Structure 1
């Protein structure tokens, strides 16, 4: 018998039981006698039967799949979050469909539509902002949505993150304490709420506490890529900044190397603090001082929240803020 032709009916016939009994065995239902369970399992193994997830989904109204929208699968920050999501998903017997959105609003919508067409039971969204169209699509989705490692500034969806305002403020304060009054703020697009409503707010708060006048010539935006950070080094040098807080590790690595290649000594001439504490921070020379985030835990907690929502359970809290820290390495004095 060919593998692809084996059905639940074939297993039931060979085992001499009903299809309902086979279904109960496959789904781990304890209401089956052990002798019957062993007989059915033996036939399943002999025929190499694999349950059809789509058919099971149609019968149970569940597909036991979760869609995860990730802006860049090569980004170490989001891949670490995805590890936490995947581990908890396995624990609760959910399969993950990982979809790359390329940090593009239009592609995010298309990716979401594709996931919903596959009848996923829930969605975890990782990204740097929610536009109006995506919000509308989330509202009309027949599946719960949780935001992981980012923010919903309107607080319409459950989210797991850190206090980005406080973390940025603490990092800038650290630079100010070592004598810097011209600290560059380097982030992605300021249209993204996580950047202008949270990180920039933390930067401005630190300046205000130190009685340093805000100077928008020290604000730099960029794509989250190494090459973009490298190119930014010339502009930051020209700004007379002597330190920088950067919102992305790959961007920070590019900036570090751009400054080094221009003859700037880090940390003696220029200090850097980055934001995500991915493996990149320890690969660079000098190693990068960074805000620390429990990335794996953020992914794991977001998936646990989603399992509750998919089971129609109430959440104890809709926004979970996990602790952060700052780890000092060689890019600061």
Structure 2
């Protein structure tokens, strides 16, 4: 069973007011729980490094795979979250890299492989004829079956990546977390990136090697959406953090337009322009969020609202039940075509 109880497109802040971070939480039957890893001593994750296509800067060689290295650096940033002036990390969470895997199935906490996976989806599901003809298409759940990115289920093509959390609806304890990258399919080399017909074009490397902005798939010596920048943001969702603001105010979460200038540099801010790499490095607000959840005394629970009656199974109600939250990274580029009511950027479903 694949439960998506609550969906929100989330993405990738500078000087930020203290304690402005947001935890990822969900409300089920009046009970609100915030997410945390119950045993943060060794949360092992893996990468399925198989890709439909990659930029020359991210191309794997016999010596190294820049895409895997980008993922390792992204998780290491959170594992090493240290307050300014501190001599040691204040976030007590270990995120060891478990190596590569052939598993390309996300949302596995409901009883399949149980691996926490970073997977590179090969283009858009809306471009896969077999997916469009499948019942999964109408529910936005073709990703695992066709190894494509579910742009047709309301996320749209402005989304860079999604992280799905499977959690206990009574405690918020994370059971599984998986990240899916809306990667290039490998088709259309040499065609324009203007409308992203074949998935996002991710690049790797330092600021000095990014060069000009890429204009076509397969182009070298240029930068487009930085893979490490994107994955550092998604790793924040992986450990239980949400966006500090959204495209419009949602409950207590403010609208990004109301925040101070420069807030777009915080790692958990919900958008990322091409060639941005500043979110590879955690801002003070990101560090405070990680350290507030994962203290030396153990992970901090946040539970509010009425108690559940006993129950079980997969879903969003009942003590001990599992729910799922979809967390996504969105890149809002003015030139992208929108898909009307089926397009979502940073507004909860």
Same fold (TM over 0.5): no
- Compute the TM-score of the two structures, normalised by the length of structure 1: 0.25
Larger radius of gyration between Structure 1 and Structure 2 = 1
Name the one with the larger helix percent. Answer: 1
Higher relative contact order (CA 8 A, sep 6+): 2
Name the one with the larger strand percent. Answer: 2
